[in-house]
Amino acid sequence: MAIADNSTDGSLHGVMRFVRSLAGFVVVVALTFLGLLAITFFIGRVVPIDPVLSVVGDRATQEQYDAAKIAMGLDRPLIVQFFSYVGNVLGGDLGQSVSTNRAVAADLVRVFPATLELATLGIIIGVLLGVPMGVAAAVYQGRAADQIIRVLALLGYSVPAFWLGLVGLAVFYAGLGWVAGPGRIDIFYDGIVPPVTGLLLIDSLIAGDTDIFFNALDHIALPAVILGFFSLAYIARMTRSFMLDQLGQEYVTTARVKGVAEWRVIWVHAFAPIRVPLITVIGLSYAGLLEGSVMIETVFSWPGIGNYLTVALLNADMNAVLGATLVIGSVFIFINKISDVLYRILDPRSRS
Amino acid sequence: MISRDWLLDTSPTSRLQANAGRAYIAAGQLLRNPLAVIGGIIILLLILTAAFAPWIAPESPVGQNLQNRLLPPSASHWMGTDELGRDIFSRVIYGSRITLMIVALVAVISAPLGLIIGAVSGYFGGWIDRIIMGVTDVFLSMPKLILALAFVAALGPGIENAIIAIAITAWPAYARIARAETMTFCNSEFIAATRLLGASHMRVITRHVLPLCVSSMIVRVTLDMAGIILTAAGLGFLGLGAQPPLPEWGAMISRGRTFILDQWWVATMPGFAIILVSLGFCFLGDGLRDVLDPKQSGKS
Amino acid sequence: MSAPLLSIEDLRVSFPTPKGRIEVVKGVTFDLGRERLGIVGESGSGKSMTGRAILRLIRPPGVVTASRMQFDGMDLMALSEADMRALRGARISMIMQDPKFSLNPVMTVGRQIGEALRAHERLPRAAIRARVIEMLNAVRINDPERVAKMYPHEVSGGMGQRVMIAMMLIPKPSLLIADEPTSALDVSVQAQVLDLIDDLVRETGMGLLLISHDLNLVARYCDRILVMNAGEVVESCAARDLHAASHPYTKGLLAAVPQMHETRDVLPVLDRSAWGGTGT
Ligand SMILES: Nc1ncnc2c1ncn2[C@@H]1O[C@H](COP(=O)(O)OP(=O)(O)O)[C@@H](O)[C@H]1O
Ligand SMILES: [Mg+2]
């Protein structure tokens, strides 16, 4: 049993392996990020017929236009332009926004927490409901519960987020008055609590202002539930398919042979091995919510990155569009790759 | 002769019998799956509606009639009228043409593109494979909607550009599938034998490899349709897709947004159309996957 | 002997297929006392389904019927699921075929064995640990403390199967079903594992139902043998009378067994026409 040989050089070996996989991870993330930069560069400089116009906007004067053209270095070869673009991005320079007249990077830092708060609450709702639903669907495969969950999950793939947002507003805000309307907080509460984390729910608690906390909760409830529904759809479906696979495994039968209680068979024997792949699914879903937040934020006037992106789109504010794309894309890639790594660290089968 | 026994024979005597038998069993399974049948009917309805829109729609989709502004649903206007007095039902009916065109074009552009790229990558392997898959991976690890948004922003709003943008974001998934399938087939002896018989790379790929990928591609494309419809509608909603006065469902919802609190039907009705059609594709794709690609069953 | 430990009459197991419901076990009848009974037959002949039906582990859409299925005076078909669960492991246990698949990959060996005990007895943690170590010793594992902390992928096939045996015997059942317990193992460890099972069965006086496709092996470790073919028992005899078997299928199987001092160039193939064949 050489595998279980945990002598000192064994752990040194383990450290070496960890370092190597960490290095591999960094390389992969860096390459993917470079690919992302290539895509945004391509979109910004190659696709538009007139990249200058798309950066300065169509309301620019001739002087602004010429200045921008020189500033962008469009006379230089494409590859040189690309590397100077990469250099700028790495230096935190995403250009100026023509709609806010500020640095895009500063704008993004300002709006990002609102999106983070929304997406995080959404994923929490999605996980808390989606995982048990997926497990139930697998355990009662083919029966009513499974069919209901299946249809609900498929609805998650078929309902436009922006439509659900509008209907939600019409019903729960205008109709029933259960939740607050668009925006992150009522205007007269705006800007009262000092930003610490940028997350209003947490900042208001830090400041000890429960009025603001409940007002913010009132505002975030509906968009978060709607985002949660979409992640629930995906998480429940994936959980179901993982669980079906598990329930057919021989070791689940072994557990039944031992006389283990059925809840334990399901939650300990069948569910435990899928916790690790589920982390990947949840990670992907979390990243997906960043994407989903574009539509939801637009409908709810939520001052986050999605709203920023759509406003920029409408103003043909290309620097802002690409900056937001870059940030969302980077977070997406990062979450993606992190869940890959977690997979390898957490699964005992890959530890030896 | 074609009989049930002939079709279900476990030791078919000809290739035709084997294929016919497989198709018979698959069709039978599909028909026994109620959701798949519902999905198929919805898609069929969509196609018929698009084809016969002028006969089904009671009014013109673009004719304005300001006297009839924002009328609630009634016998004469099933879905009410919009802010320009146009019959929403008629616009939804005509909108099916746009939706059908978008999904068809995206499928026709991105599926073959992905198929060929993936097949080439998997067939040749080596550094060609590495480079192609590297690019594919970058695309796959990007959020699709955002990528499409950025592309349309650069290309300029419009339905053609929306289609191009969606197609650009859709092909990598197909390339992955085609590559995986190709690699399994390429390691099979039957492909090696075909090569030995002197067939060219081109011939092996087009005659032997591509047809083998078709069933998993059909499943994947059908399942992706819902996402494509939602993305297209999203672009329309943001004003980046189909432009007024085209009766595109997403754009219609966007116009109804202003009236959502008082005249709910303007924004709501086109949404039902989107949901119905997307669900149809989901149901059908789900059923097809259970039948054609059982090992992927339940995954998304 | 008095009433047998297990008494089965007309056991049938069926599954739906596109061509309709087909029976994979077609009316199996046998009694089992505190003895070693072997079931032998080709792959697909319904041996595993018979074993699993006894534990009521056939899940829908599979259907099990029997005119009698009695264990130690209890009617297994009539027991509630909760009673059945109390019986599984504690009274009737089953060694599964391949430790690679039948041990939970993300749970340590010690926990899995302990769980079998905990499912039936309320014991303090330390007592369970002690029993697990004792059991690992009983299945002849050196250094049980260390092995208990290992994950299944860290142990060899032979050791995995010993762990399986430990897990199934720790609550001291009175009937052990062993479904191809050594088919997945290297030839070199097969005999060790079977000898181990044999010793433990003799020590505790359990009944053993040994399922295998290997006629020799069953003949060596069992007192009595049932030969199954296509879901039916075609022959039932004492192990030592096997050579006098009457059914053509059994004769065919016997003829296909290579002999130590082989003089045949080609081993005979089963001639299915002799007893009506298995379908094709
Ligand atoms: N879920 C199922 N559906 C249909 N047929 C099955 C199912 N499970 C097993 N069978 C069939 O039952 C027969 C008997 O299987 P089994 O008892 O495992 O055979 P053995 O253990 O003797 O090799 C096989 O022919 C197998 O194809
Ligand atoms: Mg078996």
pLDDT above 70: residue A303: yes
For residue B11, list chain C residues with Cβ-Cβ distance below 8 A. Answer: 280
**Contact residues of ligand 1, CB 6 A cut-off:** C 15, 24, 41, 43-49, 62
Distance of CA C156 to the CA centre of its chain: 21
Q: Does residue C18 sit at the B interface (CB-CB below 8 Å)? A: yes
Superfamily of domain A104-351: MetI-like (1.10.3720.10)
Nearest ligand (C-alpha, residue C24): 1
Nearest C-alpha of chain C: how many angstroms from B295? 18
Determine if residue A199 is left, alpha or beta; phi over 0 gives left, psi from -120 to 50 gives alpha, anything else beta. Answer: beta
Q: Return the residue of A nearest to C58 by Cα.
A: A253
Q: Does residue B294 sit at the A interface (CB-CB below 8 Å)? A: no
Query: Tokens 């007192």 appear where?
Result: C223
φ/ψ of residue B64, rounded to 5: -90, 150
Q: What pLDDT sits at residue B67?
A: 80
Q: What pLDDT sits at residue A208?
A: 80
**C-beta contacts of C193-197 below 8 A and 24+ residues apart:** C193/C158, C193/C161, C193/C162, C193/C165, C194/C221, C196/C139, C196/C140, C196/C162, C196/C165, C197/C95, C197/C165, C197/C221
C193-220 pLDDT, tens digit each: 888 888 888 888 889 999 998 888 888 8
Beta bridge partners of C235: C227
3-state class (DSSP) for residue C224: strand
For range B243-270, the mean pLDDT? 86
Pick the closest to residue C49 from C75, C20, C15, C74 (CA basis): C15
* Rounded Cα–Cα distance for residues A197 and A246 (Å): 40
Q: Between vectors from CA A110 to CA A105 and to CA A114, what angle results, nearest 5°?
A: 130
Give C100 Cα–ligand 2 centroid separation in angstroms: 15
Pocket test of ligand 1: the residue of C15, C227, C234 to mutate, having most ligand atoms within 8 Å of its CB, is C15
Pocket test of ligand 1: the residue of C24, C50, C63, C213 to mutate, having most ligand atoms within 8 Å of its CB, is C24
Cβ atoms of residues B225 and B103 within 8 Å? yes
- Whether residues C18 and B8 touch (CB distance < 8 A) is answered with yes
Give C24 Cα–ligand 1 centroid separation in angstroms: 6
First to last CA, chain A: 12
Pocket test of ligand 1: the residue of C21, C49, C209 to mutate, having most ligand atoms within 8 Å of its CB, is C49
Q: Which atom of ligand 1 is nearest to the CA of C51?
A: 17
Nearest C-alpha of chain B: how many angstroms from A328? 8
Give A176 Cα–ligand 1 centroid separation in angstroms: 57
- Whether residues A333 and B141 touch (CB distance < 8 A) is answered with yes
Residues whose CB is less than 8 angstroms from the CB of residue C179 and which lie 6 or more positions away in sequence, other chains included: C47, C48, C51, C94, C95, C96, C97, C211
Nearest C-alpha of chain B: how many angstroms from A48? 5
Q: Does residue A350 sit at the C interface (CB-CB below 8 Å)? A: no
Which other chains touch chain A, taking contact as 3+ CB pairs less than 8 Å apart?
B, C
Structural Rg of chain A based on CA atoms: 24
Nearest ligand (C-alpha, residue C97): 2
* Rounded Cα–Cα distance for residues A131 and A272 (Å): 12
Amino acid at C121: E
Q: Which two tokens stand for residue B43?
A: 């898609």
For residue B8, list chain C residues with Cβ-Cβ distance below 8 A. Answer: 18-19
Count how many domains chain C has.
1
Among 3.20.20.70, 3.40.640.10, 1.10.3720.10, 1.20.1070.10, name the CATH number for the domain at B27-62+79-299: 1.10.3720.10
First to last CA, chain B: 40
List residues of chain C with CB under 8 Å from any CB of chain A: 55, 57, 81, 85-90, 93-94, 96-98, 101-107, 115-116, 119-120, 146, 150-151, 153-156, 159, 164, 167-168, 171
Candidates C19, C22, C278: best to mutate against B (most CBs of B within 10 A) is: C19
**How do beta strands C20-32 and C36-40 pair?**
unpaired
pLDDT above 60: residue B267: yes
Amino acid at C67: S
pLDDT above 90: residue B265: no
For residue C22, list chain B residues with Cβ-Cβ distance below 8 A. Answer: none
For residue C58, list chain A residues with Cβ-Cβ distance below 8 A. Answer: none
Nearest C-alpha of chain B: how many angstroms from C19? 8
The model's confidence at residue B75, banded by pLDDT at 50, 70 and 90, is confident
Pick the closest to residue C105 from A267, A349, A247 (CA basis): A349
Q: What pLDDT sits at residue C172?
A: 86
The percent of residues in chain A predicted with pLDDT above 90, rounded, is: 30
φ/ψ of residue C260, rounded to 5: -60, -45
Selected residue with higher pLDDT from B270 and A200:
B270
3-state class (DSSP) for residue A350: helix
pLDDT above 70: residue B1: no
pLDDT above 50: residue A82: yes
Beta bridge partners of A103: A96
Nearest C-alpha of chain C: how many angstroms from A345? 13
B223-254 pLDDT, tens digit each: 889 989 999 999 999 988 888 888 899 988 99
pLDDT above 70: residue B295: no
B171-182 pLDDT, tens digit each: 998 998 888 888
Candidates A5, A143, A246, A251: best to mutate against C (most CBs of C within 10 A) is: A251
**How do beta strands C74-75 and C68-71 pair?**
antiparallel
pLDDT above 90: residue B100: yes
Counted across chains B and C, CB pairs separated by less than 8 A come out at: 6
The model's confidence at residue A231, banded by pLDDT at 50, 70 and 90, is very high
Q: Which two tokens stand for residue A257?
A: 């042979």
- Whether residues B28 and C280 touch (CB distance < 8 A) is answered with no
Q: Does residue B253 sit at the A interface (CB-CB below 8 Å)? A: yes
DSSP A216-241: HHHHHHHHHHHHHHHHHHHHHHHHHH
Give C156 Cα–ligand 2 centroid separation in angstroms: 22
Up-side HSE of residue A119: CA atoms within 13 Å toward CB?
Answer: 26
Helix (H) or strand (E) holding C209: strand C207-212
Cβ atoms of residues A300 and A294 within 8 Å? no
Q: Which ranges of chain C have pLDDT less than 70?
A: 1-2, 245, 255-280
Give C51 Cα–ligand 2 centroid separation in angstroms: 9
The model's confidence at residue A3, banded by pLDDT at 50, 70 and 90, is very low
b/e A224-250 (16+ beta carbons within 10 angstroms → b):
bbbbbbbbbbbbbbbbbbbbbbbbebe
Residues 151-190 of chain B with CB under 8 A from chain A are 151-155
Q: What pLDDT sits at residue A49?
A: 65
Distance of CA A47 to the CA centre of its chain: 27
DSSP A91-127: TT---B-TTT-SBHHHHHHHHHHHHHHHHHHHHHHHH
Q: What pLDDT sits at residue C269?
A: 65
DSSP letter, residue A5 = -
DSSP A255-272: HHHTT--HHHIIIIIITG
Residue C106 in domain: yes
The percent of residues in chain A predicted with pLDDT above 70, rounded, is: 93
Residue C249 in domain: no
Selected residue with higher pLDDT from B221 and A20:
B221
Tell me which residue has its CA closest to atom 25 in ligand 1.
Answer: C44
List, in sequence order, the alpha helices (H) in chain C: 47-54, 81-87, 99-102, 109-118, 125-138, 144-148, 157-169, 187-204, 215-221, 248-255
Q: What pLDDT sits at residue A351?
A: 56
Q: What pLDDT sits at residue A67?
A: 79
Query: Tokens 């429940």 appear where?
Result: A236
pLDDT above 90: residue B200: no
- Whether residues A154 and B238 touch (CB distance < 8 A) is answered with no
Q: Which atom of ligand 1 is nearest to the CA of C49?
A: 17
φ/ψ of residue B72, rounded to 5: -70, 165
List, in sequence order, the alpha helices (H) in C178-279: 187-204, 215-221, 248-255
Pick the closest to residue C217 from C175, C266, C170, C253 (CA basis): C253
DSSP letter, residue C200 = H
Nearest ligand (C-alpha, residue C22): 1
Q: Does residue B8 sit at the C interface (CB-CB below 8 Å)? A: yes
Query: Tokens 């669900």 appear where?
Result: B279
Residue C168 in domain: yes
A206-225 pLDDT, tens digit each: 888 888 888 888 899 999 99
Residue C158 sits in which domain range? 92-172
- Whether residues C88 and A261 touch (CB distance < 8 A) is answered with no
Determine if residue C98 is left, alpha or beta; phi over 0 gives left, psi from -120 to 50 gives alpha, anything else beta. Answer: beta
Q: Does residue A262 sit at the C interface (CB-CB below 8 Å)? A: yes
Q: What pLDDT sits at residue C279?
A: 42
Q: What pLDDT sits at residue B275?
A: 94
Supply the ipTM of this predicted assembly. Answer: 0.86
